[in-house]
Amino acid sequence: MCKNILVVDNNPVILKLMANFLGKSGYLVKTAIGGLEAIKIIKTFQPEVIFLDIIMPKISGEKLCKMLRKMPKMAGVAIIMLSAAALEQKIDFKSFGADACIAKGPFKGVEKHINFVLQKILAGQLTDLAGKIIGGEDVYERVITTELLLNREHFEVTLINMAEGFVELTGDGRIVYVNQKAADLFGCPEEKLLAVDFTSLFSGSKRDDITAALINLGDKRRVIGETSPFIVNNRYLAMTIAGIARQDSVIIIIQDITARKRAEQELQKYREHLEETVRRRTAKLAAKNRELEDEIAERRQLAHEKMALKKELGQTRKMEALGTMATGIAHDFNNILTAMLGYVSLLRLDAGGNSQVLSSLDHITKAGSQAKELIGLIKTFSKPVEQEFSLVRLPLLIGETLALLRPSVPPDIKVVTHVDPQCPAVWADAVQLQRVIVNLCTNAIHAIPKSGGVLTITLSQEKQDIDVSGETQNSVKLAFSDTGEGISPANLEKIFDPYFTTREEGEGTGLGLSVVHGIITNHKGRVQAESVQGQGATFTVTLPAYGGA
């Protein structure tokens, strides 16, 4: 004999009548006002028969029946539907798991039909009632109910075919309706979602966002997840939450914005890729631009050096041409002087004691000797001569040479020296270098006005200089700076030409700087002049250090 009965209806009067009637018959009766309460009861109560109304708010009798039939513990339970609508709308209650249906009418009639069904259950003849509506003859068609059911059907069809998920919650957040789209989005069948706390479907901050949106909702409408979507089963979801305060329920429309978000992500990736491509290309262009600037600077430097070399080559060729000519002149002039001085010697023998003649011959001999010295100078700059090379310490040579020059330096001219005592030695002819020092000091002294000035001599070593052959090696620099009037740009280009001089006639031969140029060139060095008119001049002699050290 069955003892435990559960009655589910949204009408408290029906529940009370059923409880009294069945209780007097000796059954243990539990009543639930709606589907949510029924779900709570069956967690601790095992009914053998369930009487279930079809039309109920929140969770309908049809949905509740489907849920119950999914539960293993409800497999053998008899489920009897209580509804006049089943007759009016010709509802196929058997399709959602009900065993029989009793049409609601006058309760006295309902009591009779309930007893009839219970007797069939006790007799094991429940299958005799399959698909039958008991008591239909006592029920008259109700137009209002029909219209309501039609509206409900229309509402159901609309929700089922919505592109959005539709979820209805109770005031405390429990799910009482889920359309198919929402069930698909959550990856869970409808019967497993019903009566579940909606917020439990989420975790972390997203759960907090939904909880916050439901608080004090009333009749307001809130949209969440548009900018920061909810991710469920790899889908991006946004929600519109609307409250229905009078029914103490909440409607949630769930939009699947996955396609839009993925399009936005792809667009963002493309934008980032484009920005990265632009950045890389900009960097390449900047690098190429720097390379081009470096190449232009290098070419300008090469052009400058080429111009300087060309100028130096022109000077060298001019000196070579003049040297070749001067060598021939010096040779012929030397022959003439030799003959002339030979005849002077013969005339001395014939002069006897004539003092006037002897005096004239002395003058001729002196002039001839000066001419021989001049020829020696011409040979010095015109071509290499036999020289005695040795290791020369320039600090010592400068000191000795200045000691010889000091008596001839005017008192108003101050000679200042900056000599590096650690300066390396050079392989040179000491006599020829001493001649260079004397010539450059003499020129500087002559350039300084009579009112006085300063001659500065600097000796230093350079690490990585370029010699005349184009090789890199260490070198020694000897600079002579004066505070004279300077040299004009036009004259600066010609100062190393033979016989060029800015002195008054009779004050020099104009061979001094040419001789300096010849000597330094023979020593594989170079001499350069720099000057700003009115601010003095500087002559710099560069010689290779011995052994490159």
Between 328 and 421, the more confident residue is 421
State residue 234 phi and psi, 5-degree precision. 65, 20
Instruction: Note the pLDDT of residue 510.
Output: 42
Those residues whose C-beta lies under 8 Å from the C-beta of residue 412, and which sit 6 or more positions away, are: 450, 451, 452, 453
Query: Of all helices (H) and strands (E), which one includes residue 154?
Result: helix 143-160
Cα–Cα distance for residue pair 164/250, rounded to 1 Å: 16
Query: Which DSSP symbol is given to 197?
Result: B
Mean pLDDT of 179-184: 87
Residue 380 to residues 168, 321, 326, 521, Cα–Cα distance (Å): 116, 14, 10, 11
Q: Residue 340: pLDDT band by 50, 70, 90 thresholds?
A: confident
Q: Residue 363: pLDDT band by 50, 70, 90 thresholds?
A: confident
DSSP letters for 113-152: HHHHHHHHHHTT-GGGGTT-EETGGG----HHHHHHHHHH
Identity of the residue numbered 529: A
CB-based contact 252:238 (threshold 8 Å):
no
Q: Which of 191-205, 281-295, 330-344 has the lowest mean pLDDT?
A: 330-344
Helix, strand, or coil (residue 3): coil
DSSP letters for 354-413: -HHHHHHHHHHHHHHHHHHHHHHHHHHHHS-----EEEE-HHHHHHHHHHHHGGGS-TTE
Task: Supply 226's token pair.
Answer: 């548009």
Q: Residue 334: pLDDT band by 50, 70, 90 thresholds?
A: confident
- For the whole model, what pTM was predicted? 0.41
pLDDT value at 17 more than 90: no
Task: Supply 419's token pair.
Answer: 């000599």
Q: Judge residue 508's burial from the number of C-beta atoms within 10 Å of its C-beta, 0-12 exposed, 13-18 middle, 19 or more buried.
A: middle
Instruction: Note the pLDDT of residue 374.
Output: 66
- Secondary structure in 3-state letters for 440-467: HHHHHHHHCCCCCEEEEEEEEEEEEEEC
Assign domain 4-143 to a CATH class. Answer: alpha beta
The CATH code belonging to domain 162-256 is 3.30.450.20
Bridge partners, 460 (sequence order): 477
Q: Which of 157-166, 294-303, 523-532 has the lowest mean pLDDT?
A: 157-166
Instruction: Note the pLDDT of residue 396.
Output: 92
Mean pLDDT of 513-536: 87
**Residues comprising the chain, all counted:** 549
Torsion angle defined by CA atoms of residues 222, 228, 232 and 235, in that order, rounded to the nearest 10 degrees: 110
Q: Which of 91-100, 295-304, 444-453, 474-483 has the lowest mean pLDDT?
A: 91-100
Most confidently modeled of 23-27, 130-134, 364-368, 405-409? 23-27
Q: Residue 172: pLDDT band by 50, 70, 90 thresholds?
A: confident
Query: Of all helices (H) and strands (E), which one includes residue 57?
Result: none
Between 32 and 507, the more confident residue is 32
Instruction: Note the pLDDT of residue 479.
Output: 95
Angle, helices 258-351 vs 355-382, to 10°: value is 160
Mean residue pLDDT across the chain: 81
Residue 536 to residues 162, 417, 457, 500, Cα–Cα distance (Å): 99, 17, 14, 19
CB-based contact 247:211 (threshold 8 Å):
no
pLDDT > 70: what percent of the chain?
83
Q: Residue 417: pLDDT band by 50, 70, 90 thresholds?
A: very high
**Fold of the domain spanning 384-548:** Heat Shock Protein 90 (3.30.565)
Instruction: Note the pLDDT of residue 147.
Output: 46
Between 475 and 341, the more confident residue is 475
Q: What value does the CA radius of gyration of the chain take, rounded to a whole number of Å?
A: 62
Task: Supply 438's token pair.
Answer: 């004397």
Between 498 and 361, the more confident residue is 361
Other C-beta atoms closer than 10 Å to the C-beta of 484 total 22
pLDDT > 90: what percent of the chain?
18
Bridge partners, 235 (sequence order): 232
Instruction: Note the pLDDT of residue 62.
Output: 85
Q: Judge residue 79's burial from the number of C-beta atoms within 10 Å of its C-beta, 0-12 exposed, 13-18 middle, 19 or more buried.
A: buried
Alpha helices in 226-354 (DSSP H): 258-351
Other C-beta atoms closer than 10 Å to the C-beta of 171 total 14
Between 309 and 41, the more confident residue is 41
Instruction: Note the pLDDT of residue 441.
Output: 92
pLDDT value at 411 more than 50: yes
Give the model confidence (pLDDT) of 132-160 as tens digits: 788 766 655 554 455 445 545 555 666 66
Q: Which of 150-154, 190-194, 371-375, 377-381 has the lowest mean pLDDT?
A: 150-154
Q: Residue 28: pLDDT band by 50, 70, 90 thresholds?
A: very high
Give the model confidence (pLDDT) of 236-283 as tens digits: 999 989 888 777 888 898 988 888 888 888 898 999 999 999 999 999
Other C-beta atoms closer than 10 Å to the C-beta of 113 total 22
Mean pLDDT of 495-523: 66
* End-to-end Cα, the chain, rounded Å: 123
Which sequence spans correspond to the domains of the chain? 4-143, 162-256, 286-381, 384-548
Instruction: Note the pLDDT of residue 379.
Output: 62
Mean pLDDT of 24-42: 90
Instruction: Note the pLDDT of residue 505.
Output: 44
State residue 412 phi and psi, 5-degree precision. -85, 0
Q: Residue 214: pLDDT band by 50, 70, 90 thresholds?
A: confident
Those residues whose C-beta lies under 8 Å from the C-beta of residue 4, and which sit 6 or more positions away, are: 27, 28, 30, 45, 46, 47, 48, 49
Cα–Cα distance for residue pair 235/346, rounded to 1 Å: 129
Instruction: Note the pLDDT of residue 51.
Output: 93
CA neighbor of 37 nearest in space, from 195, 148, 183: 195
Instruction: Note the pLDDT of residue 508.
Output: 42
